Amino acid sequence: MTAVVRDPARLDVPSQARLEVVTAEVFDADALVPAITGREAVLSALGPRGRGPSVICRDGTSAIMTAMAAAGVRRLVVVSNSGMHREGDGWFTRLVVKPLLIRMLREGYADMGEMERRVIESGLDWTIVRPPKLNDGRHTGRIASETKGNVRGSFTISRADLADYVPRAAADPELTRMAVSIAKG
């Protein structure tokens, strides 16, 4: 497995992990090609920082997809969010909570929404993973998933459980060209 990072000092990797760390700029498709070449899939967890305007998801993912084409890799899994989607939510969440959330996080959601659109139109073998609010809780392995809307009644998931789910989604052919919402099970 290869991790592409801008700052390797920010990635805490156990010494026994079988992980190659490559430093590259995510907007530079040419710099990404060597890290992608020979891989079965690309897993992307790009996300905006703060609440201001952002293009990290849309433009970073576009560069990743360009690099994938050059490297001949077809499988892409991206992490987005369930907050900007209302399918499957109860009436209170759909009509009260989500409008407030969408207004508060509109810049990041616009970036992720455009990323999702580009991924869907890419022609790649994609999966979009839509977690709710992330927390720093421990890995539990209890993950609920839903492909027809958001997971109802669960509004968080740990980053550790998300990290557990994403590679499994990449290996699951049933999730190809699907968006899947996940949450703490």
169 close to 145: Cβ distance less than 8 angstroms: no
Q: Once rounded to an integer, what is the mean pLDDT over residues 59-67?
A: 98
What is the number of domains present in the chain? 1
What is the band of 6 on the pLDDT scale with cuts at 50, 70, 90? confident
Whole-prediction pTM value?
0.94
H or E segment and range at residue 181: strand 178-184
What b/e readout covers 134-168, taking b as 16+ CB neighbours within 10 angstroms? beeeeeeeebebbeeebbeebbebbebbbeebbee
Write out the residue range of the structural domain in which residue 61 sits.
Answer: 2-184
Top-confidence residue, 18 or 47: 47
- For residue 105, the domain's CATH number is 3.40.50.720
Question: Taking every pair of C-alpha atoms in the chain, what is the biggest distance, in angstroms?
Answer: 48
